[in-house]
Amino acid sequence: KQEVTQIPAALSVPEGENLVLNCSFTDSAIYNLQWFRQDPGKGLTSLLLIQSSQREQTSGRLNASLDKSSGRSTLYIAASQPGDSATYLCAACFSGGYQKVTFGTGTKLQVIP
Amino acid sequence: NAGVTQTPKFRVLKTGQSMTLLCAQDMNHEYMYWYRQDPGMGLRLIHYSVGEGTTAKGEVPDGYNVSRLKKQNFLLGLESAAPSQTSVYFCASSYAPGASSNQPQHFGDGTRLSIL
């Protein structure tokens, strides 16, 4: 079964700290992996999308990496700010089925001022 | 830019009642999706559509029906609501299939549905 796991479920850090969020997946036959942000009571906002042929993507203070061989992706957030507080979800698009996007359960991040 | 709009935002139903959730997108996307989000389980795909007039089952389709009569709209129906369908429902759309594109899915803000 193709699964996506995010550990820890919650993380609390002081403002200004650099941090890494983890995402692991069980099948290396992956087409792409996305990182989303979800604010309370809101939908998901796409942050970064990494194609299987890529190793990483960057947007501002965010950097996402993809290692298919180890089944891992990381989201690096530099110089964290209270406004970064949200739930971060990763979603992997696996081969073998049309639009088979599998979501992780998310990591709830709190950045303390 | 409206993006993806879901109506209603909240609804409380009694067991056995029916209702329809509406999703509208203004980005001319071919692909639309309905997900449900439950605590500890992540988002699960209910149904999806690859274009006007087409629908297909996702991971958890039982108890739901969908229609895509117009390209911009994707409707999710509950014919006889059950407490197990209490959830937050998200609609999403994309320009191309996620498996072959670098275009992300765009999500609505969700519909919070409670079945008593």
pLDDT digits (tens, 9 = 90+) for A23-80: 999 987 888 899 999 999 888 999 999 988 899 999 999 999 999 999 999 999 999 9
Q: Identity (one letter) of the amino acid at A72?
A: R
pLDDT value, residue B1: 60
Q: Identity (one letter) of the amino acid at B8?
A: P
Asked whether the beta carbons of A9 and A106 are under 8 A apart, the reply is: yes
pLDDT digits (tens, 9 = 90+) for B79-88: 999 999 999 9
Q: Any CB–CB contact under 8 A between B98 and chain A?
A: yes
Averaged over A77-88, what is the pLDDT?
A: 97
CA–CA distance, B104 with B3 (Å, rounded to integer): 13
The β-bridge relationship of strands B42-49 and A107-112 is: unpaired
Which residue of chain A has the CA closest to B96?
A99
Q: How confident is the model at residue B11 (pLDDT cuts 50, 70, 90)?
A: very high
Between A41 and B91, where is the model more confident?
Answer: B91
Length of chain A: 113
Q: Any CB–CB contact under 8 A between A43 and chain B?
A: yes
pLDDT value, residue B101: 58
Shortest CA gap B110–chain A (Å): 6
pLDDT at A100 over 80: no
CA–CA distance, A47 with A111 (Å, rounded to integer): 18
pLDDT value, residue B73: 97
pLDDT value, residue B100: 55
pLDDT digits (tens, 9 = 90+) for B48-87: 998 999 999 998 999 999 999 999 999 999 999 999 999 9
Asked whether the beta carbons of A76 and A85 are under 8 A apart, the reply is: no
Beta-bridge mates of residue A57: A64
Contacts of B39 (CB under 8 A, 6+ apart): none
Q: DSSP label at A95?
A: S
Identify which of A79, A60, A63 has the alpha carbon closest to the alpha carbon of residue A18.
A79
Q: Any CB–CB contact under 8 A between B85 and chain A?
A: no
Q: Phi first, then psi: what are they for A11, rounded to 5°?
A: -150, 135
pLDDT at A97 over 90: no
